[in-house]
Structure 1
Amino acid sequence: MNTVAHTAPAHTSTTSATALRSLGVIRAQGEDAAKFLHSQLTQDFSLLGLSEARLAGFCSAKGRLLASFVGFKRAHDDILLVCGRDVLPATLKRLSMFVLRAKVKLSDATEAFQLWGLSGTDTTARPWSKSDGADGSQTVVLYPAAGRDRALWVAPADVAAPALPVQETAQWDWLDVMSAIAPVSQPIVEAFVPQMLNYESVGGVNFKKGCYPGQEVVARSQFRGTLKRRAYLVSSDAALSVGQDVFHSSDAEQPCGTVAAAAANPAGGWNAIVSMQTQAAADGTLHAGNASGPALSLLPLPYPLLDDI
């Protein structure tokens, strides 16, 4: 059995580790790092503690998600944003446009850090908590999935990797889908406002903070009771792909939803996170690709949805 070296982090009893090569790191350094990110993302980075992490979105002026991150502070002037490598270059370029005179340096720090996904069965883990290792590593507890607690382990590139059995990427990808928290990837850039992916229900949107790009649209969607699309967890016997249309059996012309994340289920079939009209999810039969395509079955979400206000 292959293993890699590291002491298991606090907060979670891990049993396996997965190298997350599809993820990258944007680093914000400088005395204005937290203030700058606070003004650009859906999350409050000014008040973020050193023992905390957060899900955060970066929106267009129309409130549509351009990227999503797991963000945390290595220090008060040193913040890491973990996101998909496929959206990182464009995201870094766009964020850099707004730096102006802020005392912050943004960089692609992907090569400076290693990222591993840790999964186990300890049910005491608290999502979005962070612990620091003596070796400079940071362990962020993520939302659990399929009965397994999960954590993101980020460490400098020269630190020894976790001393745990290696888990295949496909298994981690499936657990990620089963957490029902879809990251923003290239096929769905600008497809959704945060609530269409349930981000406000898992701590990804702070409605008490100040303005950020798209803030008015995001707030209006929440407070005027106009949330007509939500993210749902589904299963299918057929392969599903990100960006694929989902149809209701009653309408062959217009899709009612879009696959936001998908992965093969180790036990067979596929699971996906679908952002779709709430009415379509409430009744009728759902199909992938077209109105007569593979059937989709709804599964319960692993977290409660917050009501719109």
Structure 2
Amino acid sequence: MNAPLASAPGTAVPASAAVSVALPVFPRPAREEFDAVLSRGAFMPLPQFGVIDATGDDAAAFLHSQLTSDTQHLDAATARLAGYCSPKGRLLASFLVWCSGESIRMLVSKDVQAAAQKRLSMFVLRAKAKLSDASVDTLAIGLAGDVRGALSGVFDAIPDGVHVKVDGPAGSLVRVPDAAGRLRYVWVGPKAEVEARLPVLEAKLRRVSPAVWDWLDIRAGEPRITQRVVEQFVPQMINFDVLGGVNFRKGCYPGQEVVARSQYRGTIKRRMSLANVAGETESVVPGAELFHSDDPGQPCGMLVNTAAAPDGGVDALVEIKLAALENGSVHLGSADGPGLTFLPLPYALPTEI
């Protein structure tokens, strides 16, 4: 299949051509901040995310032709994951996507937002669609733990199922996958409306560092494409197919041939796992390579996302050759670097034949 609109001027411009915004650097959260989520409930601002709005009569159809998920049949009560791939099938960005009024709203890592928005905009051409940065006018809040009571003071209804969404005057509330056995929600709404209601949360929940959300995402096994790993992974390499981020029955989108071939040609030899490694997030960073004790000459994987862990060290989502998990040990940076301790993902991976 052809990459959509491949003959458009500027198609060869790399995804990094737009000016990127560096992600905020969060210090290691205090143990009490993790405990607030695990034992009670907490909320946290999410400045590590940006928001893109797609508007216009053709917005859904346009995004449908560009992303890995079905946006043409996205209903008002559902959110879903979606990826944006290069023609080679490598992920340029990952999104949480839902309908917000007349717009389709996309939550994306802040450091890839500008590049993804610019690249998508290049392909709009005659479509009645426009992409805009909604980050200035919106706030994103993450909530985790025993938070339903506090949320009932903000929203008339609370979504029950994962990726179910409700709307209200304060914006949209999406339930996202549980982490560490705790409920999680993302609240995105107009800045003034969200700020006006934060005291309701603060009266019942502890405000904690956004870094706790990064850890929760990792414990949920849900990857996020950031600038350090742009164009490194086909969706299946980071379990995006397992998480519902790829629709294999929809029409063409950039990289679809590669993504489909990876799915149907037989064995997928690389997947994403969960691990802990000694260190701090200043040095244990996404994009760092992993090496196996039996094959020190070439990398066997890569860190996808990292976050400070409550019991020390760094928890990470790692893309890795499945064969490297069968025996020996895996190390960060070199075969004699810090060893990784692998942990169970909260979901099962398909049995490859």
User: TM-score with structure 2 length normalisation?
Assistant: 0.80
Question: Which of 88, 91, 98 is residue 113 of structure 2 equivalent to?
Answer: 88
Query: Which amino acid in 2 is paired with 1:221?
Result: S
Within 5 A, what are the aligned runs for 1:1-309?
15-75=41-101, 77-121=102-146, 125-133=160-168, 135-159=169-193, 160-162=196-198, 163-164=200-201, 165-239=206-280, 240-307=284-351
Q: Over residues 62-114 of structure 1, what are the superposed CA-to-partner deviations in whole Å (9 max), with x where a residue is unaligned?
A: 00000000000013x41100001100111111000110110111111111110
8 Å CA contact retained: 1:50, 1:73: yes
TM-align CA RMSD: 1.6
2:298 counterpart SS class: coil
Equivalence for 1:4:
none
| Higher deviation after alignment, 59-68 or 176-185 | 176-185
Residue 152 of structure 2: aligned partner: none
3-state SS of paired residue (2:222): coil
| 1:268 Cα deviation after fit | 1.4
User: Which amino acid in structure 1 is aligned with residue 192 of structure 2?
Assistant: D
Question: Which letter maps to 2:167?
Answer: D
Alignment partners' CA distance in 1, 2:271 and 2:322: 6
User: Cα 1:110–1:264, aligned 2, differ >3 Å: closer, same or farther?
Assistant: same
Q: Aligned partner of 1:265: which letter?
A: A
Q: How far apart are 1:241 and its partner, in Å? A: 1.3
Q: How many residues were matched structurally?
A: 294
- CA distance in 2: counterparts of 1:307 and 1:210, whole angstroms: 26
Q: What SS is found at the alignment partner of 2:74? A: coil
Look up the match of 2:23: none
Distance across 1 between alignment mates of 2:229 and 2:60: 27
Query: What is the CA–CA distance in structure 2 between the aligned matches of 1:121 and 1:233, rounded to whole Å?
Result: 25
Q: Distance in 1 between matches of 2:279 and 2:331?
A: 10
Gaps in structure 1 of 5+ consecutive residues? 1-13
Contact 1:114–1:154 under 8 Å retained in 2: yes
CA–CA distance in structure 1, aligned partners of residues 137 and 147 of structure 2: 30
Q: Could you tell me whether the CA contact under 8 Å between 1:35 and 1:45 is conserved in 2?
A: yes
Distance 1:306 1:213 in 2: 25
Cα separation, 1, equivalents of 2:224 and 2:46: 14
Distance 1:101 1:148, change over 3 A: same
Aligned partner letter, 2:42: S
Deviation at 1:28, TM superposition (A): 0.2
Instruction: For 1:62, give the aligned amino acid.
Output: K
Q: For 2:247 and 2:147, locate their aligned partners in 1 and report how far apart those are by CA, in whole Å.
A: 28
The DSSP-based 3-state class of the residue aligned with 1:268 is coil
- Whole-Å separation in 2 of the counterparts to 1:206 and 1:241: 30
Deviations 1:127-173 (A, max 9, x none): 1111112x141011111111111111001111024432212122222
Secondary structure of the equivalent of 1:243? coil
Q: TM-score, normalised by structure 1?
A: 0.91
Residue 11 of structure 2 corresponds to which residue in structure 1? none
Counterpart-to-counterpart distance in 1, 2:235 and 2:315? 21
- Paired with 1:209 and 1:253, the residues of 2 have a C-alpha distance of 40
- How big is the shift at 1:238? 2.5
Task: Report deviation, 1:307.
Answer: 4.4
307 and 59 in structure 1: CA distance in 2 versus 1, 3 angstrom threshold? farther
Answer 1 or 2: which has greater helix percent.
2
**Shift in Å, 1:308:** 5.5
Matched with 2:6 is none
CA distance in 2, matches of 1:54, 1:161: 26
Instruction: Tell me how far apart the structure 2 counterparts of residues 188 and 120 of structure 1 sit (CA, whole Å).
Output: 30
